[in-house]
Amino acid sequence: MIPSDHFVRFYNEVFKFLDEKGELDEYFARIAKNQEFFCLQQFKTGGLQGVYDYYLKIRHEENCQMDIVFEDNELIMKMTRCPSLSKAIDNDAGVCSKYCQHCLGWTQRIYDLAGLYQIFDLGDWDDPTCCEWIFDDLSKAQARFEEIAETVPAERLYKNF
């Protein structure tokens, strides 16, 4: 058994294998399918509140250092120390430089299905920090994106709208 503590280091080896083949995105879609089991219904029925509640649990279970702010129909999740990337970096096998892409790869698909809008500053692959902004209103998401794009480099900024 690979301990649940060590799953991300196994994941990281899978990413390296798939990256060599240029086939990471198909796997990210499969991860999203698996994640539907854990959170899609909660996101669909609860909207932003459902996302907020889900990440409160995840922050605890996965030992995230993450500030979560939920006000005015905007949910901001600022990861100050991602436990997943931290483990992938603290790893004798070395980190896959596309490690963070998996998070974008599955969350975008889930938010699409839940009718939510995501802006994601993915940060750098060797620094375990990132920030997500989630909205249930497209115009609000677009306006926020314009603001964020002024300060965050375009190559690390993603959105699903």
Partner 1 sequence: MLRYQENNELHKDFHSSTNMTLDYIAGKYGVDALKMILRRTGRRVYKSIHDKLASGDASELVEHLNWFFMREQGKYQLTVEEDKIVFEVFECPAQKHLRKIGQAISPYSCLQTSEVNNGMCEDTPWQAELEIVAPGHCIQTFRKVVKK
Question: According to the binding rule CB under 8 A, does residue 38 interact with partner 1?
Answer: yes
Considering the complex, state which of residue 18 and residue 152 has its C-beta at the smaller distance from partner 1.
18
Question: According to the binding rule CB under 8 A, does residue 63 interact with partner 1?
Answer: yes
CA-based nearest residue to 18, from 6, 30, 7, 34 = 30
Decide: 63 and 81 in contact? Cβ < 8 Å: no
Of 41-49, 84-92, 141-149, 150-158, the segment contacting partner 1 by CB under 8 A is 84-92
Question: Can you tell me which of 27, 28, 43, 145 binds partner 1, judged by CB under 8 A?
Answer: 27
Of 41-49, 53-61, 115-123, 147-155, the segment contacting partner 1 by CB under 8 A is 53-61
Question: Can you tell me which of 19, 36, 53, 62 binds partner 1, judged by CB under 8 A?
Answer: 62
Of 48-56, 74-82, 91-99, 142-150, the segment contacting partner 1 by CB under 8 A is 91-99
CA atoms within 13 A on the CB side of 111: 26
Sorted by sequence, the CB contacts under 8 Å of residue 68 that are 6+ apart come out as 52, 55, 56, 59, 75, 76, 77, 78
Tokens linked to 10: 């196994």
Nearest-angstrom CA–CA distance, 26 and 23 = 6
> By the criterion CB under 8 A, which residues form the site for partner 1?
1-14, 17, 27, 30-31, 34, 37-38, 58, 60-63, 87, 90-94
